[in-house]
Structure 1
Amino acid sequence: MDISSLLEPGAVRIINHLTSKKRLFQEIGEVVASVHGLNASIAVDGIQERESLGPTGVGHGIALPHARLQELDKIIGVFLRLEKPLEYDSVDRLPVDLVFALFAPKDSGVDHLKALALVSRTMRDAGVVAKLRANSDPAKLHAILTEARTSKAA
């Protein structure tokens, strides 16, 4: 499994301004709907339900919201770079500007955890994070994310 199998180029976006975590989740839902055809409200409800168990802000300005959904048959991702960091209730209390959302089938079992671990490792790489923050072109962001793990695995 690699990030290129999880993240379509169209699912990478730059967001200029969001006013709340709820609005962020709605934006993620809209991207999932437009790229993968999944109902946006189902996606939003899924990540809000997971978020109610505990915040998915992992620190250093990074959030990894995720959900398991009955409507999916494969694991999919959405990456958003926020121009203006957003309060997120992260573990380190810092606002978030990099968001990688994952959606997995309800019965994906260990594959969901493997995908989450892969994304988490990638987003902990200081070099990758610096490049993501330095670029404003969605195509470049997609390339950075999909090449990050591939080059390390070689």
Structure 2
Amino acid sequence: MQLSAILRPEAVKTISASTSKKRLFHDIADLAQQFYGFDATDVVDALVDRESLGPTGVGQGIALPHARLEKADKVCGLFLRLDKPIDFDSVDRQPVDLVFALLAPDAAGVEHLKALALVSRTMRDKDICAKLRANSDPATLYTILTEAHSTQKVA
């Protein structure tokens, strides 16, 4: 699986208006509606429900919010670079500035897990994160994300 299979170039954004996790979920939902045709309310509800199970802030300024949607037919990704880090209840208590959201079908099972593992591996790479933080152009961010994985060796 390649990141380019789950992440559209237009679903990569730099955001300056998000001031809280709740506002960020609404921003993600608006983008998911715009680029993937999901109902924004369904997306917010699904993200909030998933987050209630445990925070998806994985540390090092990174969050991987994800949820399953009844109306999804494939795994879809959205990447947001935040101009101003926000509190995300992360495991290391550090604010988040890099967010990779995944929305998957209810029955995605293994595909959802594969996508989450791929995103997690990519976002754990300190060099990739440094490049993402140093750039704000969405096209550049998309290239960094998609080329990074295509050059990584698969174990």
TM-score normalised by L of structure 1: 0.98
Query: Could you list the runs of 4 or more consecutive aligned residues of structure 1 that deviate by over 6 angstroms after TM superposition?
Result: none
- SS of the equivalent of 1:91 reads coil
Q: Distance in 2 between matches of 1:49 and 1:146?
A: 29
3-state DSSP of counterpart to 1:11: strand
1:33 to 2:23 alignment: no
1:80 corresponds in structure 2 to 80
Structure 2 residue matching 1:148: 3-state secondary structure: helix
Quick one: distance in 1 between partners of 2:118 and 2:17? 28
Following the alignment from structure 1 to structure 2, what is the Cα–Cα distance between the partners of residues 101 and 66? 5
Tell whether 2:10 aligns with 1:17. no
How many residue pairs get aligned? The number is 154
Which residue is equivalent to 1:123? 123
The one-character-per-residue Cα deviations of 1:54-74 (angstroms, maximum 9, x if unpaired) are 000000000000001110110
SS for the counterpart of 1:85 is strand
> Which residues in structure 2 correspond to 1:2-151 (within 5 Å)?
2-151=2-151
Residue ranges of structure 2 left out of the alignment (5+ in a row): none
For 1:60-104, what per-residue CA distance to the aligned partner results, in whole angstroms no more than 9, with x for missing partners?
Answer: 000000001110110000000000000110000000000000001
Identity %: 61
Measure the CA separation in 2 of the matches of 1:135 and 1:19: 20
- The alignment partner of 2:67 has SS state of strand
Q: Secondary structure at the match of 1:9?
A: strand
- What amino acid sits opposite 1:39 in the alignment? D
Greater displacement, 131-140 / 13-22:
13-22
Structure 1 residue 21 displacement after superposition: 0.6
CA distance in 2, matches of 1:28, 1:66: 11
Give the counterpart letter for 2:6 in structure 1: L
Equivalent residue letter for 1:35: F
CA deviation after TM superposition for structure 1 residue 16, in Å: 1.0
Instruction: Calculate the TM-score normalised by the size of structure 2.
Output: 0.97
- Structure 1 portions without partners, runs of 5+: none
What amino acid does structure 1 have at the position aligned with 2:19? T
What CA RMSD, in Å, does the superposition of the two structures yield over aligned residues? 0.9
Q: What is the CA-CA distance between 1:153 and the residue it aligns to? A: 3.3
Look up the equivalent residue of 2:123 and give its one-letter code: M
